[in-house]
A and B are shown apart, each in its own frame.
Chain A
Amino acid sequence: MQLIIGAGQAGYWASRTLREAGYDGPIVMIGAERHPPYERPPLSKQVLLCQAPPESAALTTAEALAALRIDWRADVRALSIDPAGRRVLTDAGALDYDQLFIATGARNRKLGIPGEDAGGVHSLRTLDEAAALAAALADGGDVVVVGAGWIGLEVAAAARTLGDSVTVVELGPRVCGRGLPELLALDLQAEHERRGVRFRLGCGVERIEVEAGRAVGVRLAGGEILPAKTVVIGVGAIPNDELASEARLETRDGVIVDGQGRTSDPAIFAAGDVARYYGARTAAWIRCESWSQAQDQAIAAARAMAGVEHPPYDPTPWFWSDQYDLNIQVAGETSPALNVVRRGRTVIFLDDTERVRGAAAINGGAEIRVIKSMIERGAVIDPASLARTDLDLRKIAAMAKAQSTS
Chain B
Amino acid sequence: MSEPMTQWTTVCKASDVEEGVPVTARAGAKPVGVFRVGEDICALHDVCSHAFALLSQGFQEEGVIECPLHAARFDIRTGAVLSAPAVEPVQPLEVRIVNGEVQVRG
Chain A residues proximal to chain B, CB less than 8 Å: 39, 41, 291-292, 295, 318, 320, 322, 327, 365-366, 369-370, 373, 392, 394-395, 398
Interface residues of B in 1-57 (CB under 8 A from A): 20-21, 51, 53, 57
| A373 CA to B61 CA, complexed, in Å | 10
Contact call B84/A295, Cβ cutoff below 8 A: yes
Q: Mark B61-72, 1 if CB is under 8 A from A, else 0.
A: 100001111110
Contact call A398/B85, Cβ cutoff below 8 A: no
B76, chain A: closest CB distance, angstroms: 15
| A320 CA to B85 CA, complexed, in Å | 12
| A291 CA to B69 CA, complexed, in Å | 13
Q: Which residues of A contact B67 (CB under 8 A)?
A: 365
B98, chain A: closest CB distance, angstroms: 27
Contact call B69/A392, Cβ cutoff below 8 A: no
Query: When A39-B85, A373-B59 are in contact, do A398 and B70 touch as well, CB less than 8 Å?
Result: no
Count how many chain B residues have C-beta atoms less than 8 Å from C-beta atoms of the other chain.
16
Minimum CB distance partner of B51 in chain A: A322
Q: Say whether chain B's binding surface is mostly helix, strand, loop, or mixed.
A: loop
| A39 CA to B53 CA, complexed, in Å | 20
| A209 CA to B77 CA, complexed, in Å | 59
Contact call B57/A369, Cβ cutoff below 8 A: no
Contact call A366/B58, Cβ cutoff below 8 A: yes
Contact call A41/B21, Cβ cutoff below 8 A: no
* In the A-B complex, the 7 residue pairs with the closest CB atoms: A365-B68, A369-B59, A366-B68, A366-B57, A394-B21, A327-B69, A365-B69
Q: Say whether chain A's binding surface is mostly helix, strand, loop, or mixed.
A: helix
Q: A322-B69, A365-B69, A366-B58 are in contact. List 11 more A-B contacts (CB 8 A).
A: A291-B85, A295-B84, A320-B70, A327-B53, A365-B53, A365-B68, A369-B59, A373-B59, A373-B61, A394-B21, A394-B59
Minimum CB distance partner of B58 in chain A: A366
* Of the residues A291, A365, A373, A395, contact of B21 by C-beta under 8 Å: A395
* Of the residues A39, A320, A370, contact of B69 by C-beta under 8 Å: A320
Contact call B21/A370, Cβ cutoff below 8 A: no
Contact call A398/B20, Cβ cutoff below 8 A: yes
Interface residues of B in 60-106 (CB under 8 A from A): 61, 66-71, 84-85
| A366 CA to B22 CA, complexed, in Å | 12
| A320 CA to B69 CA, complexed, in Å | 8
| A295 CA to B73 CA, complexed, in Å | 15
* Of the residues B51, B66, B85, contact of A369 by C-beta under 8 Å: B66
Give 10 CB contacts A-B under 8 Å: A39-B85, A291-B85, A292-B71, A318-B71, A322-B51, A369-B66, A369-B68, A373-B59, A394-B21, A398-B20
Q: Which residues of B contact A394 (CB under 8 A)?
A: 20-21, 59
Q: Which residues of A contact B21 (CB under 8 A)?
A: 392, 394-395
B26, chain A: closest CB distance, angstroms: 19
